Amino acid sequence: MNEPPTKTLGQPVMIIGGGRGGSALLEMFLEDEWVTVTALVDPNPEAKGIILARERGIPTYPSISAAFSQETLHENCIIYNLTHDDSVIDQVAALSKHHRVTGGGEAKIFWQMVTHLRHTKHELEKNQTELQAIIQNATDGIITVNEAGEIQGFNPAAELIFGYDHNEIKGKNANRLIPGQFPLPNNTPEENSLLPEHNRELIGIRKDGTPFPLEMSLSEMVLGSLCYRVGIVRDITERKETEQRIQFLAHHDFLTQLPNRALFQDRLECALSLATRNKTLIALLLIDLDGFKGINDTLGHDQGDLLLVQVAERLKTSARKSDTVARLGGDEFALILNDLKLKTDAQPVARNILKNLSEPFLLKNEPCSIGCSIGISIAPLDSRELSTLIRQADEAMYQCKRWGKGRFSYWENNKA
């Protein structure tokens, strides 16, 4: 038989009955620091309450008289009768005039209250477990921040996004993750109230210092007298890269990565406006390859595509960084030369292009040679209209082909 506890830390109670009711009451009291169960009485050594009491070091007794034989039984001990035997009250009264037994209808009501509380507690624990499971398994990062801007919660998704372990980042200021988006101790209430609450695209900082784009929704949560901010964050690096790629492909040639016709026309229009404002000249060079069809017919379209890529690289080396090289389609390219003083300033560039494209290209490990014809129009000398300049350069280019290819010509030299 167990010895009674030597020290009572809370209100001492004795439970009579180790069945379902007594066991439930014992479990509840074990979780309450204000109550100390001093003994549990039941003649059945295998009763659920008796087994639990023994596991927790609580004295157990087979009878009330055995329990009352202990001199250490506290006079203010509350006795709960969780059996269906009302004679327990008489037994306690015969043994001691200092103790009152709660039993019968009182015990039934109390047991129902305990059962209800246990059910409520179970539901709360279940809901909390489910909530924690959702937070722990959420694909978005969830960061909880207190009023001082210190991180209190940091789920696994946030760990993956930022590279910090939960224990490593807890208590640190959240502004190291997303600068300027969380409360600071020296902020005024007005400043903190202006923080974003809807989805916003921001810049986050990973543990290694790398910045990256993220999307965050920030909301407020009040628990008692404490106010928290909950940030739900998502790494949108891949989405941004996809958007940039789509934007690039909308304005660039897929094969050569040069600006396409749409971007070329936009660049030419901007160049015309700038030349008018700065009182300078621009030259438009339309370049058509000579002999490209033969390459396609003899070596195949895959080698023709490879040739176009190599031509694009040579054209880029022939121009300045401030100029625009574009592919208009097929084997036709264009070059916009900005900020010229004289119309003859385009001649060295045209000659350089003719020279570079006349050098052999390596296709299927065999050298292949092509050439090109270049037509040039000058703005604003020839025209201030975009469509007119393109038509003039096109006419000059076809005149070169009629003259024998492999050369360049200004549009004014072809005027009727």
Any idea what the CATH number is for the domain that residue 337 is in?
A: 3.30.70.270
Backbone angles phi, psi at 305, to 5 degrees: -65, -40
Same domain, yes or no, for 151 and 112? no
**CB-based contact 340:348 (threshold 8 Å):** no
Residue 126 lies in a domain: no
Same domain, yes or no, for 405 and 325? yes
What is the model's pLDDT at position 351?
Answer: 94
What is the model's pLDDT at position 416?
Answer: 37
10-residue block means of pLDDT along the chain (416 residues)? 53 88 85 86 92 92 85 74 81 75 69 69 70 72 88 90 92 88 54 56 92 89 82 91 91 94 94 92 95 88 93 92 93 95 94 93 88 94 92 93 89 64
Reduced 3-state DSSP string for the chain: CCCCCCCCCCEEEEEECCCHHHHHHHHHHHCCCCEEEEEEECCCCCCHHHHHHHHCCCCEECCHHHHHCCCCCCCCCEEEECCCCCHHHHHHHHHCCCCCEECHHHHHHHHHHHHHHHHHHHHHHHHHHHHHHHHHHCCCEEEEECCCCEEEEECHHHHHHHCCCHHHHCCCEHHHCCCCCCCCCCCCHHHHHCCCCCCEEEEEECCCCCEEEEEEEEEEEEECCEEEEEEEEEECHHHHHHHHHHHHHHHECCCCCCECHHHHHHHHHHHHHHHHHHCCEEEEEEEEEECHHHHHHHHCHHHHHHHHHHHHHHHHHHCCCCCEEEEEECCEEEEEEEEECCHHHHHHHHHHHHHHHHCCEEECCEEECCEEEEEEEEECCCCCCHHHHHHHHHHHHHHHHHHCCCCEEEHHHHCC
Residue 146 lies in a domain: yes
d(CA 65, CA 177): 67
Residue 132 lies in a domain: no
Same domain, yes or no, for 233 and 256? no
Residue 399 lies in a domain: yes
% of the chain beyond a pLDDT of 90: 46
What is the model's pLDDT at position 267?
Answer: 94
Same domain, yes or no, for 274 and 399? yes
Same domain, yes or no, for 59 and 145? no
What is the model's pLDDT at position 307?
Answer: 94
Q: What is the pTM of this model?
A: 0.59
Same domain, yes or no, for 355 and 231? no
**CB-based contact 17:41 (threshold 8 Å):** yes
What is the model's pLDDT at position 105?
Answer: 65
Residue 162 lies in a domain: yes
Same domain, yes or no, for 318 and 359? yes
Same domain, yes or no, for 29 and 68? yes
Same domain, yes or no, for 313 and 341? yes
The domain in which residue 408 lies consists of 252-414
Residue 363 lies in a domain: yes
What's the CATH code of the domain at 170?
A: 3.30.450.20
What is the model's pLDDT at position 182?
Answer: 67
Question: Across the chain, which distance is largest between two alpha carbons, in Å?
Answer: 135
Q: Which residues contact 412 (CB under 8 A, 6 or more apart)?
A: 378, 381, 382
Residue 133 lies in a domain: no
**CB-based contact 29:14 (threshold 8 Å):** no
What is the model's pLDDT at position 97?
Answer: 67
Last residue of a domain, one of 116, 146, 172: 116
What is the model's pLDDT at position 7?
Answer: 46
Last residue of a domain, one of 238, 273, 294: 238
d(CA 23, CA 56): 12
Torsional class of 373: left (φ above 0), alpha (ψ -120 to 50), beta (otherwise):
beta
Number of domains in the chain: 3
**CB-based contact 252:258 (threshold 8 Å):** yes
d(CA 139, CA 161): 10
In single-letter form, the type of residue at position 47 comes to A
**Dihedral sign computed on CA atoms, order 158, 164, 170, 176:** negative
Pairing of strands 366-368, 361-363: antiparallel
Same domain, yes or no, for 269 and 356? yes
Same domain, yes or no, for 265 and 369? yes
Same domain, yes or no, for 260 and 367? yes
What is the model's pLDDT at position 194?
Answer: 42
Q: How far apart, in Å, do the first and last CA atoms of the chain sit?
A: 125
Last residue of a domain, one of 238, 264, 285: 238
Q: What Rg, from alpha-carbon coordinates, does the chain have?
A: 43
Burial class (CB within 10 angstroms; exposed 0-12, middle 13-18, buried 19+) of 247: exposed
Residue 226 lies in a domain: yes
